[in-house]
Structure 1
Amino acid sequence: MLIVLAVCLPSGQARAEEEALDLQTVLDQAKPGETIDLQPGTYEGPITINKPLTLRPEREGEVILRNGSLQPAISISADQTTVAGLHIIDEAVKEAPTVLVTGDRVVLEGLQIRTGADGIVVRDADEGVVTRTTIDWAAEGVRMADKGNGIDLFNAHRWRMLDNTIRDVHDGIYMESSDNASVSGNVIERSRYGVHCMYTKGTMIERNVGMLNVTGAMVMTARQVSVTGNTFAKQSENVNSQGILLYDAHETIVADNTVDGNRVGLYVEQSTGNRLENNRISYNFIGIQLLESHENTITANQFFGNVADAQARGSESNALSGNYWDSFRGIDADGDGKSDISYAINPFFQGMTQKRPAFQLFFQSPGMVFLEGLYQTERDRWSTDSAPLMAPPDGGLQIGAMDGGSETGVAGFVLLGCSSLLFYRMRRRGT
C-alpha cells in the first residue's frame, strides 16, 4: 500500500487533520510493509520506525527532516526498513546519533546528512546497506577528537557501505566487532581515519578514495581483511599520518592500491601472515615502515619518489622479493629484470629514533644519511628484498609526480634547514 503525505495544509482545516498528517502519527498508523511517499517540504523530527516500512520523498532531494532535539533524528528498530532520499539536518552537538539503526536488513539510500553527532550508528543489527549517502559535519568550533563518526558499526555483521561521501568527521567509517562488512566506492575526506576496523574478520575495503585524513585506512587487531584497489593520498599533516596502517593485523591482503603523498605510505606493526602486493607507493616521506612484523609477503610493489623508500626494525623474517625501489641501483648480469644484488633496509634510523624520539627531526638530513651509510651491524638480520626489480613492471612512474615531488622536495629543504639550525644551536651552547 502507498501512502502520500503532504507537508502543508490549507488554512482553516481542523487540528485533528493536522495531527493526522504529523509524520510520526502517519508512521505509527501505517501497516507493516507500506510505502510512505513524502511531498516536498520540511518535516520535524525526531521520528521512530518500529515496523517494516519504506519512507521516501516523491521527488528525491526535496524533503527535509529537521531535528532540534537531543534524540536521534531517525530511530529504526524494525527489520527490513528502507529510508531513502531525505535531507536530514541534525546540527546539535550531542551523544545520540543522527540515525540510529537496531533492526536487521535496513537500507539507507541517497540520504544527505548534516550532523553534529555520529551520522549513522548501527548497533547489534546485521545485513544492512548504506549507499549513495552524504554525511557532513555541521557544527563549528569542535575539535576533531570530539566529533562523531560518519558511519559507526558495533556488533553489526555483513553490512555494505557503498558509494558514500563523508567529510570532516572523526572516523569516516568505523567498524568494531563487525565481521564480513563491505566498504566500497566511498570518498572520505578531512577526517581522522578514513576507514577504521577493529576486532573484525573478513572486512573488504575496496575502491575507496581517502584524502587529507590523518590515516587513509587503519586495520587494527583484525584478521582476513582485504584492502584492494583504493587510493589514499595526502595524509601528511599529522605526525602520525599514514596511507594504510596495519597494526596487529593477520592474514590480510593489501593489493593494487595507490598510496601517494602521505607521511608514511604503508605502516606495518606487530602484524603477521599478510600479503602486500602490486601497490604503487609514491611521493611519501617514507614508503613503507616495518616494525616488529614477521612472516609477511611483500612483492611486486613499486616505490618511487619517496623521501625514504623503506624503514624497518625487528622485522627480519618477512619474504620481500620482486619490488621496485627507485632509490636502489642494482646489477642485472643475466638480464632477467631482477637485480643480482639484494636491497637491504637499513635499521639505523629506526633504532635510533626508538631510543631518542627527538632525533626524528634529522630524518634524511645529510649527517643522518652519512651515519646510516656507516652502520653495518648484523646485516643478516636486516629486512631484505632478495630480488629487487631493475625497472617498474609497467614502465611508468608518473602518478602524482608533479605535486608529490615538489612537496617532498620542499619538505627535504625544510628538514635540512631545521637540522642545521639545531646543530648550530647545540654547538653554540657547548662553547
Structure 2
Amino acid sequence: MGKFVLIWWWIIGVFTAPITLADSMEIDVNPLVKSVLLQEIIDEASAHDRIALSNQTYLGNAIINKPLTLIGHPRSIIDAQGQGSAITIASNDVNIKQLNILNWGDDQYELNAGILINDGMTNIVIADNVLTGDGFGIRADNSHHIEISHNLISGDAERFVLDRGDGIYLKRVDHAVINGNVIKDVRDGVYLESGKHSLVTNNQFSKQQYGIHYMYTEDDEAFNNAATKVDGGYALMNSKRINLHHNQVNGAAIFGVLLNMTNDSNVHANHVNNIVNANPKMPTGDEGKSMFIYGARDNRVYNNEFANSEIGIYMAMGGEGNQIYSNQFINNQAHVKYVGDTIVEWSHKEQGNYWSGFIGWDRTGDGFSEQAYQPSDHLDRLYWLYPEAHFLLKSPVASLLRWTQQQFQIMPEAGVMDSFPMMSPAANSNIGYAAELADYPYVNSNIVSTTQPSEHSLYK
C-alpha cells in the first residue's frame, strides 16, 4: 500500500507540477505550461534555489520573500498586467537576471515599479534585464549593497517628462553600484537621495530630465557616463564629496553640470558640448549652460571642456568660493555669466583656463599669458541687468565701448578674472571618454545581451 501511494504521488507530480527539480539548487520551469503565475513558481522554490524560466510569458505582481536567483532566457517575459509592481523583492540575497519585464503600474505614490526592493534588503543583483513600462523602472528605499548592471530601462516617451517615473530611484541606499545601463524616456535616469558611497559608471542616458540626480548624498562617484538629448546632464544638489569625472553631456537644453548647494566635490575631465535652450522663457537668464554653479562652495572644477554652448559657466548666489582652473572654454556664445558683486579669481597656483578668442602674450614661454583676462565685462553685466537692451549687443557702439575698455584696461569692480589664462588648449585626449550613445551595443536591441558580466560586481 505504501509503494502504491508513492507511485501515485509521483504520477501527479509529473503531469501537474509547473516546475521540476533538476537538483536541490536549481529549478527548471516546464515550458509547456501556459500563463504561469510567477508567484506559484516562487512559492514552490526553497531558499537559495536558482529558478530558470523558459521562453514564455509569466504573470507578474510576484513577491520574492526568500533568497533566490531568478534567471530567464531571451524571451522570458514578466507581464504585470498594468498594475502594481511586476516583481517585489522582500528578502536579502536575491538575483534577477535576463528577464523582459513590462507593463507595470504607473502609480508613483504606491511605488509601482518594474522591480521594487523593500526596505532593509541587502545583497541584491539586478542584471541584464529589459524593463519597459510606466512608474519607476527599479526602486529601492532604506537598503544597502545593491548592484544594478547592464539593464535597458525605457519609460513612456508620450508622457510629460515630470509625469514619468525615474529609471532607477534609490533613497537612503548605501553602497549602490549602477553600471552599464541604458536608460531612456524616463524622468531622471538615476535618482539618488540621502545615500552614501554610490558608484555610477558606464551608463547611457537620453530623452529625460536629468541623467544623474544627486540629492542630499555623500561620498559618491560617477564616471564614464554619457547623456544626450536631456534637459540637464548631471545635477549635484545639496550633496557633499561627489567625484564627477570623465563624463559626457551633448545636446542638453538647460545645463551640462549643476552644482547647487553642493560642497567639497570634484568636477573634472568632463566633456560638455552644445548646451542650447531652444525654448527660452525670456531674452536672457534661461540660456543653456555648460555648467551652472548656484550657492555651492569649496568645490574644485578643473580639466573640463565646456564648448559650443550659450554660456560656459553661469555662477550666482554665493558660488564664489570654488577653485576653477585648467578648464577649456571653446566657442561659447558667452564663456561666463557671473551674477555677483565681487572680483572672483578663476585660477589656482598660477594656472588659469583656456578661453577661445582670447589674445594675449607669453614672454616666459610657460604656456600662460602675462595678461589677465576678464571673460565678461561691464557691457555684459549691463545686458544681464537690462535684458531688453540685448539687441544692442552687437551694435557698432557696443563694439567701440568694448575696444575702449580693453585699451585702457579698466579694472572691474565685480566679475570673473583669470590672471593666468592659458595660451592654447591642453592636449588631453582623456576628457570625457565615454562611448557615444549610438555605438552602445544595447541601444538598438530589444533583448539585452547576457555575454557582458558586470565589471564592478560587489558579489564576485
Verify same fold: TM over 0.5: yes
Three-state SS of the structure 2 residue aligned to 1:383 is strand
Instruction: Label 1:367 to 1:228 Cα distance change in 2 as closer, same or farther (>3 A).
Output: farther
Alpha carbons of structure 1 residues 289 and 364: separation in structure 2 relative to 1, 3 Å: farther
Question: In the alignment, does 2:335 pair up with 1:309?
Answer: yes
1:40 and 2:55 aligned: yes
CA contact (8 A) 1:309 1:327 kept: no
Which residue is 1:214 aligned to? 231
2:41 match: secondary structure: helix
Residues 311 and 79 (structure 1), Cα distance of their counterparts in 2 relative to 1, 3 Å cut: same
Could you tell me whether the CA contact under 8 Å between 1:7 and 1:43 is conserved in 2?
no
Q: Does 1:70 align with 2:96?
A: no
Kindly provide the amino acid, as one letter, of the partner of residue 123 in structure 2: R
Aligned residue number for residue 325 of structure 2: 299
Higher mean Cα deviation, 373-382 or 314-323?
373-382
CA contact (8 A) 1:111 1:133 kept: yes
Match of 2:122 in 1: 104
Query: Distance in 1 between the 2:226 and 2:369 partners?
Result: 34
Separation in 1 of the partners of 2:145 and 2:89? 14
Task: Kindly state the Cα deviation for residue 145 of structure 1 after the two structures are TM-superposed.
Answer: 1.5
Is 1:179 the counterpart of 2:192 in the alignment? no
Q: 91, 97, 102: which is aligned to 1:84?
A: 97
Q: Please, which of 295, 298, 318 is the counterpart of residue 270 of structure 1?
A: 295
Q: CA deviation at 1:334?
A: 2.2
Shift of 1:27: 0.7
AA of the residue aligned to 1:299: Y
Q: Tell me by how many angstroms 1:8 deviates.
A: 2.7
For 1:409-428, list aligned pairs within 5 A.
none
Corresponding residue of 2:272: 259
Which range moved further: 224-233 or 347-356? 347-356
Pick aligned residue for 2:213 from 182, 186, 196: 196
1:113 to 116, 119, 131: 131
Identity percentage over the alignment?
26
Unaligned segments of structure 1, at least 5 residues: 11-17, 400-431
Unaligned runs of 5+ in 2: 1-24, 276-287, 433-460
1:238-280 CA-partner distances (Å, limit 9, x unpaired): xxx1111111111110111111111211111111111111111
Distance in 1 (alpha carbons) for counterparts of 2:368 and 2:260: 31
Which residue, out of 245, 248, 255, partners 1:242?
A: 255
The letter for the 1-side match of 2:175 is: R
**Greater RCO, CA 8 A, separation 6+:** 2
1:199–1:176: structure 2 CA closer, same or farther, 3 Å change rule? Answer: same
Which position in structure 1 is the counterpart of 2:417? 384
Shift in Å at residue 356 of structure 1?
Answer: 4.8
Structure 1 stretch 169-178 or stretch 324-333: which is displaced more? 324-333
Match of 2:65 in 1: 50
Q: Does 1:338 align with 2:368?
A: yes
**What's 1:402 paired with?**
none
| Counterpart contact for 2:76–2:99, Cα < 8 Å | yes
Aligned match of 2:39: 24
Q: CA deviation at 1:330?
A: 1.1
Over the residues paired in the alignment, what is the CA RMSD in angstroms?
Answer: 2.5
306-315 or 46-55, larger mean C-alpha shift: 306-315
Give the 3 Å change call, closer, same or farther, for CA 124–353 of structure 1 in structure 2: farther
TM-score (norm 2): 0.77
User: 2: distance between equivalents of 1:4 and 1:319?
Assistant: 63
1:277-296 alignment runs, 5 A limit = 277-291=302-316, 292-296=318-322
Matching residue of 1:328: 358
Residue type of the alignment partner of 2:137: G
Which amino acid counterpart does residue 74 of structure 1 have in structure 2? I
In structure 2, the residue matched to 1:424 is none
Task: Please show how residues 224-243 of structure 1 align to structure 2 within 5 Å.
Answer: 224-236=241-253, 241-243=254-256
Amino acid of the structure 2 residue aligned with 1:219: L
Distance 1:296-1:395 versus aligned 2 partners, 3 A rule: closer
Q: Is the 8 A contact 1:260 1:284 kept in 2?
A: yes
Cα pair distance change 1:335/1:181, threshold 3 Å: same
Distance in 2 between residues matched to 1:146 and 1:227, nearest whole Å: 28
